[in-house]
A and B are shown apart, each in its own frame.
Chain A
Amino acid sequence: MPKNSYLPWYFLPGTTHYYENVLLLNKHSDRQISQYPVVDHHFDAVVVGAGGAGLRAAFGLSEAGFNTACVTKLFPTRSHTVAAQGGINAALGNMEADDWRWHFYDTVKGSDWLGDQDAIHYMTEQAPASVVELENFGMPFSRTEDGKIYQRAFGGQSLKFGKGGQAHRCCCVADRTGHSLLHTLYGRSLRFDTSYFVEYFALDLLMEDGECKGVIAFCMEDGSIHRFRSKNTVIATGGYGRTYFSCTSAHTSTGDGNAMVTRAGLPCQDLEFVQFHPTGIYGAGCLITEGCRGEGGILINSEGERFMERYAPNAKDLASRDVVSRSMTIEIREGRGCGPEKDHVYLQLHHLPPQQLAVRLPGISETAMIFAGVEVTKEPIPVLPTVHYNMGGVPTNYKGQVITHVGGEDKVVPGLYACGEAACASVHGANRLGANSLLDLVVFGRACALTIAETGTPGEKLSPLKPNAGEESVANLDKIRFAEGTIRTSEIRLNMQKTMQNHAAVFRTGDLLKEGCDKMDAIYQSMEDIKTFDRGIVWNTDLVESLELQNLMLNAVQTIHSAEARKESRGAHAREDYQDRMDELDYAKPLAGQEKKSFDQHWRKHTLSTVDIKTGKVTLGYRPVIDRSLDQEECSAIPPAIRSY
């Protein structure tokens, strides 16, 4: 602690002072001072997040000779990518003749024409090469008899532009594709000397004059502050499922990257598009596979009725995911929900023979017993449509560079890149197809690395940075650490989650959304009154969870305000009061003779949202969808049409 004589006379209460690598905060009128040692690092590139996308970017950069740092709050193989059990889509053509242009068509259609076709072109064209590359890195894909990579069918994948039947393009590693991906990339990147900073929580971006000059993070192990200065910062922090009461995501999906970008004054894109999976366990949110319904399981309401017969007379319980989700929600809203609060429905399996349950669906019995206390051979499982994926995020172009929209033009933010679920390239548009997410991770992780390698050189000198850069982030951390309000972190978090679940879930109408917006604004304000209890600085889980709550709050307000403003139904955003898509032309009717609606009058556009941090006020803007592919001759863009399966 420097002697008082070194402290400047102007070190008044409420100010900070940076002296000899220690940041001092003078907080109270009795000159109580918090001190945080600051360590500065210089790297050619910094990646925030060590999931599939972060590791692929870090590995690509290290391989290209860039001195790379990877800052992560979790050990790399414990990132949420490990939960992925599906696979990676790629038009390798091992099971039947295939063409990446058919995959392109499926993805554009799946996105309900909100996806940027240049980014989708890039992703589907690069897919086969990316999978082969992973295979060469040592990823042990499941194989067919003749040794080629085995590919299985998955939802939404077709041949010949939707006219040739089901396509088999999903490559997997048994049921542990996510883990295999992480392990392979982590192992490889270590050979190229990537520096990993594990269990460091990234606080904010270091922005100066609209350029990103690095990241400031705090080390959980010893409470020190680290500034990672770099010309290239890649955000790969994942999604923000935890804004909802019920989600399939781990407790680590807190939208840290989106919040960092918002605090830097940059917009986030399409946050209202949140994908729901029909059957997650009530409360816990753990996924119950669609296979249960495939084996004969049925959904029932409080009257014991198999209600899907009314909503989908043919497909019944096996109708498409968004139809099932919406039906379940209507039943609950009309008062036929189950349980003491009548807020979920039941998935009944006990009418099936016990041997069938044991053999075909063994994991379900365990999960139901552990997380719902339910014996599946005797009782039904409580389920609810559950948040599963965030299509929205930090807006980027197809090269992975973060963009803003100024004067009607896309403008690149220098020094900042994003990939994975945190980014919005936008390849998934309004709805994501299964097995496209892992593909998104590897293709755009690699794209960020390639773009950085193209536009820079290793060992480049860094531009100067103000000596007290990042002090607001540390001041915020200190404020949260010593917060003495009246509302506990867990209470505010529960309020936010229940509000989002009740007002911005599968069922959305104008009144419900408007009410939700007002409630969320009030909850945002209640953050000023937050109360934490752990005052330590080393391994302070309370502090980390409160910082994560701040991040979640920013994501939640943008999501609900964007949803309230969007007056149409498209993909995963379905509104009861505006049930149709509103495009620039009515694609349900013949196009000849129709007049194109102006940009302000239709909804086939991306939402860009920003937040005033102090007041919590959300401002919305819009940006057009990119309808051209990268090369019209190689792959012509798909014009919008009515989406039916």
Chain B
Amino acid sequence: SINVLIVVNRVYQVVLRPTLACPVSTRGYKGEASDDSRGDLIEIPLPPWTEKDGETMDMKRRRLLFQSRKRGMLENCILLSLFAKKYLNTMSETQLRQYDRLINEPSNDWDIYYWATEAQPVPNVYAGEIMDLLKEFTKNKDQEQRLDAPNLEYLDKGSQ
């Protein structure tokens, strides 16, 4: 009956999956063991992530700014808000959509950190321009001190 449950879950997932041209990574979650030797790993599907429709580029940038600064753990808060400060305002539309997917689709924030620090390989669905930029940025070649997330005032046109 566990096998039935897994099959039912997988079917449920496929049904929920929108028909997109590009491959969709599942947001289901499996435990730590890759081999289900005891046959009791239950995959719990979450609703698949979908892109937001009808958003202007400006709105996308504003949304992604908030979503870069507010993450699950401190390391990502600092890394992504510094990355957003450097790159977000000059990203093209394709790059914005890649970035949107990268920071909003993965369920575990730690995964984004491990991909950026190259501690774990990046899944194919997230590989691309933005991921490369993020990995390069994370290396901190200039060895600058990254003490905290930047203040927002760099966006204040009035102060410039």
Contacts and interface: CB of A to CB of B under 8 A. Distances in A.
Contacts of A80: 72-73
B86 to A, nearest CB: 14
A599 interface: no
Given A187-B44, A538-B59, A539-B59, A251 B69 contact: yes
Contacts, number: 162
A441 to B, nearest CB: 15
A83 interface: yes
Contact of B146 (A79, A176, A186, A373): A373
A220 B74 CA distance: 22
Given A77-B107, A179-B108, A366-B119, A251 B149 contact: yes
B50 to A, nearest CB: 13
Interface string B131-160: 000000011100111111101110111110
Contacts of A143: 38
Contacts of B147: 282-284, 371
Interface in B41-61: 41-42, 44-47, 59
Given A147-B38, A490-B153, A539-B59, A138 B44 contact: yes
Nearest to A136: B42
Interface in B73-107: 73-79, 81, 104, 107
Contacts of A369: 139-140, 143
Interface stretch (A227-235, A451-459, A540-548, A602-610): A540-548
A286 B75 contact: yes
A542 B62 CA distance: 10
Contact of A82 (B47, B72, B146): B72
Interface stretch (B17-25, B26-34, B121-129): B26-34
B31 A180 contact: yes
A180 B29 contact: yes
A563 B74 CA distance: 26
Nearest to B61: A539
Nearest to B147: A283
A140 B32 contact: yes
Contacts of B143: 369, 373
Contact of B145 (A79, A186, A220, A283): A283
A252 interface: yes
A372 interface: yes
B10 interface: no
B145 A179 contact: no
A199 B155 CA distance: 22
Contacts of B153: 488, 490, 533
B65 interface: yes
A488 B158 CA distance: 12
A180 B152 CA distance: 32
Interface residues of B, number: 54
Contacts of A488: 151, 153
Given A140-B31, A363-B119, A539-B66, A83 B155 contact: no
Given A142-B32, A183-B44, A541-B62, A250 B145 contact: no
Contacts of A79: 72
B73 A371 contact: no
B74 A370 contact: no
Contact of A250 (B32, B63, B72, B117): B72
B65 A539 contact: yes
A284 B74 contact: yes
B66 A220 contact: yes
B155 A250 contact: no
B151 A490 contact: yes
A269 interface: no
Contact of A284 (B29, B47, B148, B152): B148
Contacts of A538: 59, 62
A184 interface: yes
Contacts of B159: 533
A248 to B, nearest CB: 6
A284 B78 CA distance: 8
Nearest to A375: B143
B110 A179 contact: yes
A80 B69 CA distance: 13
A324 interface: no
Contacts of A83: 72-74, 109
Interface string A421-443: 00000000000000000000000
Q: Count chain A CB atoms within 10 A of each CB in B44, B77, B153, B158 and give the residue with the most.
A: B44
Interface string A66-86: 000000011101111111000
Given A74-B70, A179-B107, A539-B63, A372 B146 contact: yes
Contact of B41 (A140, A247, A248, A282): A140
Contacts of B81: 251
Interface in A344-375: 362-363, 366-367, 369-373
A396 interface: no
A249 interface: yes
Contacts of B29: 180, 183-184, 187
A373 B108 contact: no
Q: Count chain A CB atoms within 10 A of each CB in B71, B119, B144 and give the residue with the most.
A: B71
B72 A174 contact: no
Nearest to B5: A138
A370 B140 CA distance: 6
A123 interface: no
The 7 closest A-B pairs by CB, nearest first: A140-B31, A283-B147, A490-B151, A83-B73, A82-B72, A539-B62, A187-B44
16 contacts: A73-B70, A78-B70, A140-B41, A183-B29, A187-B29, A188-B44, A250-B77, A251-B71, A251-B149, A282-B147, A283-B148, A370-B75, A490-B151, A533-B156, A533-B158, A534-B156
